[in-house]
Chains A and B, each alone.
Chain A
Amino acid sequence: MTALKRADEERQALARKLEESNARLEEAQRVAHVGHWEWDLETNEVVWSDETYRIFGLKPQERPMELADVRGMIHPDDRESLFGGVDVDLSAGAYPVAEFRIVRPSGEVRTVHAITSKRWSAPPVDSNGTASGGARRLFGTVQDITENKRVAEERQALSRDLQESNARLEQAQRLVHMGYYEWNLITGRVTWSAELYRIYGLSPQDGPIDMALVSEMIHPDDRERVFRESDEAIRSGVPAAAEHRVVRPDGEVRTVHGLGTVKRNAAGLAFEMFGTVQDITDRKRAEDALQRSQLELRREQAYLAEAQSLTHTGSWAANFHTGQNYHVSEEIYRLHGFDPGKGPVGADSFYKTIHPDDESFVWGIIKNANHARTDFEIPEYRICRPDGAIRTLRAIGHHNPSGEMGEYVGITMDITERKRAEAERERLRQLEADLARVNRVNMMGELAAALAHEIKQPITASVTSANALMRWLAYDPPDLDRARAAASRIEEDANRAANVIDSLRSFYKTGTPTERQIIDVKEIIEQMSGLLRGEADRHTITIYSEVDPDTPNILANPVQLQQVFMNLMLNAIEAMKDIGGTLTIRSRIDPENRLFVSISDTGIGLPTGSAEQVFEPFHTTKPQGTGMGLTITRSIVESYGGRVWATANQGKGATFNFILPYNAEAPV
């Protein structure tokens, strides 16, 4: 009994120990989230420890487990690979280690780690001493590593994030050309980010930086200020911000913007300055360029407005279909009689200014263009301004091809003054033409009077000779010799009369005023001198000509050129009419290959004061003069691109000169 009791006590103690040990194991398993299991390969019975049940989301020893139950609880994606591997590993004699997921009844997925080993109930050993029949039982542990895994993954993710954010920071620094520095105020050590090296034109491999180097690289003109400001920041604790220039080793000057904050320890001692440095050279350049271009734009706009005002041209953009104005320049307001300073004016108000008589015309053009989606031009239409003034405008619209129907940009100009000037010019031109005609008729009258004498001479001679001839024939016997002599003189004088008439006719031969031909100036001078010699003689005036053989021919209208010569020569004769004198015509080619002609007289001379006034219209000294002779002469000469002017002579009288381009183009 004692032995039995002792054995029983022993057994009880052992059982207690076992229980204790089991409990400790249980406790250990629970703390470590490790459970164990046994799998009877014959019966497929599975025995789980309490913790294993917990790991699988069950109550400890809730129910007996079979392999099928276990299989069912393995995550479907891991099931095949898990069981597929067991046989292979076991036959190879390896202890398989597997990590797989399980699905708890609640649906929660856990990741577990299992270690498997073989266990034999009665190790069957054959004659060769080799265990045969395979493992009858598998024993293993399972550990819930879900938390570990999550933590590991999180850590991994964190480190990845950190790496990425570092890279991003690096990239960001590069992108904005911003670097940072740490300046240990106690040791004087300076740490730079890679980008800061680049900003200073250095490479991160260039080694550590000290303040002496930094100071050296700051532009000499900015150095003192930068350090003064950072000292100030260190003392006051107010973050420093400074824009300054740095000089890169290659000499390039960059503009940077620095920001710095001071870090203090618990005692309030500044121990570090941390700051950023941004290269703003390009931004500054862009800003400057922007500022410049804005300035330029404003100036351009001012010029444009000025140009619009000068040319009385305004610009607009509008939709005629919807009656909407997108843009109306100030000049448009002014053209229509509105004050641009008094706020916007609706499209309708502009439309209303169109003169009622022109309304249908204007809208006809615009509507046609609207429908056809083409450009339009209204060459001329009238508006009635609010103040009642009638103005003539011209509008050009350019259809915006990408725009909607009726969308146009265009200009409107005030052509009132231009039209008035055109009308005035036309009137003057007409007047000038009329006067030129009057002058020519007048001149021909004078010429005809002069020539009447020239014709009367030969006629008188031949009539007288005819009388003499008859008298010689009346003799008894007739004096035939004298009669014959008289007859031949008659012929001679009749021819002479015919020549005079021819020369007059050549002058009268007009042709159209624009007809041009090559004119032999020498011949014209001879012809004119011949025509006027009689008139000159009558006033005891001698005509001399000094015509240079090089006198060029010119392309001109002969009638107009004769008119020029005639006017100037008659003018010279007029000046000497009562006192007689000498008229000298000179012609030559001037150094610029132009025809130069001067007509000098020894007459009364030019009016005191301006020699120019003789060319003024209606300036005359003759009782019957129109006062247009010299005016017309000037107008003809200038129409050929020439020039005519008067000079007083050294002695008596005046000289009129004119120059005509060698290959003068006649006016249209």
Chain B
Amino acid sequence: MKPAAAPTVFIVDDDGGVRRAVQDLVESVGLRAESFATGQEFLSKKRTSEPSCLVLDVRLPQMSGLDFQRTLADIGMQIPIIFITAHGDIPMSVRALKSGAVEFLTKPFRDQDLLDAIQQALQRDRAARAQQDEVQELHGRYLALTARERAVMGMVVAGMLSKQIASEIGISEATVKIHRGNVMQKMQAGSLIELVRMADKLRPVLPQ
């Protein structure tokens, strides 16, 4: 963890009044805030590594907030989103939440609800970032494995015994055990359970 990075709340709302008021509210609780009139403006902003979240108006001039949420997912930008809307209906909120939104607030909202949602979103972002850091670490370790070691690891976490692995690859059981030992060591796994968990975390970033 790098505690130095101050969390930032991004706000996208075409209504200047709402934008400024939300930014001020966020700042009044000691958080950094940056606001944008359109999603495009937000996208052009260079992202830093501190935890952040996005307060997003559902209704935007060019592209609706829900569409913008999808766009962000498409380009791989993961940021917790809190939707605010002046005329949210249930189908819209369900869709937003299903797509991973932290919260769906209808205007006018209670300030505490928004601030709670922001805290929750930042927390989620922090967790996500931590998880991301861990995966990156594991990935680094994984890249240190030889091709044979990666193959052995795959079979180990799939629950195969050394003997089975040996016959599968066509090497001796003893050689399998040596590879297995290397994997445990390079991956810094204390137990088979731990290695399985690591493999799970790595799965999304590994080619199938």
Whether A and B are associated in the same complex: the answer reads: yes
Measured CA separation A457–B15 after assembly (Å): 7
Q: Are B28 and A471 in contact (CB under 8 A)?
A: yes
- Note all chain B residues with C-beta closer than 8 A to A28: none
Q: Are B108 and A456 in contact (CB under 8 A)?
A: yes
- Note all chain A residues with C-beta closer than 8 A to B109: 460, 464
- Note all chain A residues with C-beta closer than 8 A to B17: 457-458, 461-462, 489, 492-493, 496
Measured CA separation A459–B15 after assembly (Å): 12
Known contacts A452-B87, A457-B17, A464-B21: A471-B64 contact under CB 8 Å:
no
Report the minimal beta-carbon distance from A68 to chain B, rounded to whole angstroms.
159
Measured CA separation A129–B147 after assembly (Å): 221
Known contacts A453-B59, A456-B86, A460-B107: A489-B28 contact under CB 8 Å:
no
Q: Provide the B70-84 mask, 1 if CB < 8 A to any CB of A, else 0.
A: 000000000000001
Measured CA separation A471–B84 after assembly (Å): 21
| Residue A468, interface by CB 8 Å | yes
Report the minimal beta-carbon distance from A190 to chain B, rounded to whole angstroms.
116
- Interface residues in A525-564 (C-beta closer than 8 Å to B): 537-538, 540, 542
Interface residue from A453, A462, A482, A538 paired with B28 (Cβ < 8 Å): A482
Q: Provide the A497-510 mask, 1 if CB < 8 A to any CB of B, else 0.
A: 00000000000000
| Residue A465, interface by CB 8 Å | yes
Interface residue from B21, B60, B64 paired with A462 (Cβ < 8 Å): B21
| Residue B4, interface by CB 8 Å | no
| Residue B20, interface by CB 8 Å | yes
| Residue A115, interface by CB 8 Å | no
Measured CA separation A467–B109 after assembly (Å): 11
Q: Which range holds the interface residue count of chain A? A: 20 to 34
Q: Are B24 and A465 in contact (CB under 8 A)?
A: yes
Q: Provide the A33-58 mask, 1 if CB < 8 A to any CB of B, else 0.
A: 00000000000000000000000000
Q: Are A468 and B61 in contact (CB under 8 A)?
A: no
- Note all chain A residues with C-beta closer than 8 A to B107: 456-457, 459-460
| Residue A472, interface by CB 8 Å | yes
| Residue A486, interface by CB 8 Å | yes
- Note all chain B residues with C-beta closer than 8 A to A460: 18, 21, 84, 86, 107-109
| Residue B22, interface by CB 8 Å | yes
- Interface residues in B6-30 (C-beta closer than 8 Å to A): 14-15, 17-18, 20-22, 24-25, 27-29
Interface residue from A456, A489, A537 paired with B21 (Cβ < 8 Å): A489
- Interface residues in A455-491 (C-beta closer than 8 Å to B): 456-465, 467-468, 471-472, 482, 485-486, 489
| Residue B62, interface by CB 8 Å | yes
| Residue B137, interface by CB 8 Å | no
Report the minimal beta-carbon distance from B47 to chain A, rounded to whole angstroms.
25
| Residue B111, interface by CB 8 Å | yes
- Note all chain A residues with C-beta closer than 8 A to B24: 464-465, 468, 482, 485-486, 489
- Note all chain B residues with C-beta closer than 8 A to A462: 17, 21
Report the minimal beta-carbon distance from A560 to chain B, rounded to whole angstroms.
29
- Interface residues in B97-123 (C-beta closer than 8 Å to A): 107-109, 111, 114
- Note all chain B residues with C-beta closer than 8 A to A540: 61-64
- Note all chain B residues with C-beta closer than 8 A to A70: none
Report the minimal beta-carbon distance from B127 to chain A, rounded to whole angstroms.
27
A: residues with CB less than 8 A from B are 449, 452-453, 456-465, 467-468, 471-472, 482, 485-486, 489, 492-493, 496, 537-538, 540, 542
3 tightest A-B CB contacts, nearest first: A467-B111, A461-B17, A471-B28
A–B pairs, 17, beta carbons within 8 Å = A452-B86, A456-B107, A458-B17, A460-B109, A461-B15, A462-B17, A463-B111, A464-B18, A464-B21, A464-B22, A464-B25, A465-B21, A467-B111, A468-B27, A471-B29, A489-B24, A540-B61
17 further contact pairs, Cβ within 8 A, besides A453-B86, A493-B17: A452-B87, A453-B59, A453-B87, A458-B17, A459-B107, A459-B108, A460-B108, A460-B109, A461-B18, A464-B114, A468-B21, A468-B27, A471-B25, A471-B28, A482-B27, A492-B17, A540-B62
